[in-house]
Amino acid sequence: MSDTFNTPSRRDFVALGSVATAATMLSAGGVYAGGKDDVIKVGLIGCGGRGSQAAENCMDADKGVKLWAVGDAFKEKAAGLVERKKGSKKYSGRTEVTEDRIFGGLDAYQKVIDSGVDLVILATTPGFRPYHLEAAIKAGKHVFCEKPVATDAPGIRKVLSLVDEAKKKNLAVVAGTQRRHQQGYIDTVKAVHDGAIGELVGGRCYWNGTEPWFHARNDKDFLKLAGHETELAYQINNWYHFTWLCGDHITEQHVHNLDVINWLMQSHPIAASGMGGRSHRRVGDPKDVGNIFDHFAVEYEYPNGARVFSFCRHAPGCDQNVSEAVIGTKGRADLQDSARYQINGKTVGKDKDISPYVQEHVDLIRSIRENKPLNELQNVAESTMTAILGRMSTYTGHRITWADALASKQQLMPEPKDMSWDMKIETPPVAIPGKTKFV
């Protein structure tokens, strides 16, 4: 397994997301920027499957990482994660979470941030991400944040407002768009940027897969959790199926492929026209079965006139494809995770032995230790907004511009400070293109 560090200049946009050199940075008071072997205390916010894996990836990336505090809306989940890690031969010696640093509740994120950690991992349901990012950056913490970083335009605007604040505080913020840390992708994108296929004129990307998990209200796992009887608890536990929490699967999952396209194009799109619907998911009251679509087809327009076609689908029994391709005036590039990195049919990239899920943490922690913090917020915010733009166009049935979408007043996610377990939740019906209005 290789620990080779990929320098930021090979991953980032030419014009966006560049990292200032250490000579131009001012060290913020209280921000961890220690030496090569100092302990980095990590706080995990969101103790589901992805959070658990991210904590392990972070510990695998650097021997000086210690899991220091954990928090989840449901304290039982946080406690269960600690028990599993302490029972693991590999991670028991790296898990230093005491009982008083296991937090539960809707404010658990703030308690983790305030527990003396240096770095926080944000792995809750996506709707909460803008607020958790804001709290972490205001507190001067380095961040690993899972994608996507919002489910609505107001959330994206909040995240974009944090980009410069993180830079001024000398904070590293790395996103869970791991393809940007994956050598096969890095090599292929660099070849495209170096002119291997000429000027880009079009492309396509897919995330066509099967159905995600779904939990009914009487699921035995829910019944173990305090507060399971409330509507908020049910929807948080079933978050993937509610647009306000998930952003729909074009945002939660397909953002990976859209991020690669933006990376290749060195820009976000300027407009989108989409279509889609719900044909395979459960039928019933949206508050019971959710309100997201199961298929999207979107045409994105880019500033140089290029058109990119985006397809994502959740449907059992159908062909599956997760890949990206772009067409240029001199040929084409094909990219597929761990399988294909080609320019005009010739392989140009190859992955390292190290998992990209670990490599992104290697890059994050190395940047902290060397006082050259990576900041990927701009890129991941724009990729998330690209997905939201496609969702907006698909839900309404109309072409929508980037400017209008980013200025949208539709706020799906309430402020966490205004939330309570017994709050009333009005679950919108499934969108109907041509009838659903753009707000």
DSSP, collapsed to helix, strand or coil, labels residue 39 as coil
Q: CB within 8 A of 207, min separation 6: which ones? A: 249, 253, 254, 256, 257, 311, 312, 313, 321, 322
Go through 168-186 and write b for each residue having 16 or more CB atoms within 10 A of its CB, e for each that does not: ebbbbbbbbbbbbbbbbbb
Q: For 287-317, what is each residue's pLDDT tens digit?
A: 999 999 999 999 999 999 999 999 999 999 9
| pLDDT of amino acid 338 | 84
> What is the rounded CA–CA span in Å between residue 285 and residue 428?
10
Helix axes 153-168, 129-138, angle to 10 degrees: 20
CA atoms of 358 and 343, how far apart (whole Å): 27
Q: How many CB atoms lie within 10 A of CB 293?
A: 25
Summarize pLDDT for 41-57 with one digit per residue, the tens. 999 999 999 999 999 99
DSSP SS3 for 382: helix
Per residue in 223-270, pLDDT (tens digit) is: 666 556 789 999 998 999 999 999 999 999 999 999 999 999 999 999
Per-residue pLDDT band for 27 (boundaries 50, 70, 90) equals: very low
Structure letter (DSSP) for residue 313: E
User: Is residue 185 within 8 Å of residue 350, measured between CB atoms?
Assistant: no
Cα-based angle 266, 272, 277 (whole degrees, multiple of 5): 130
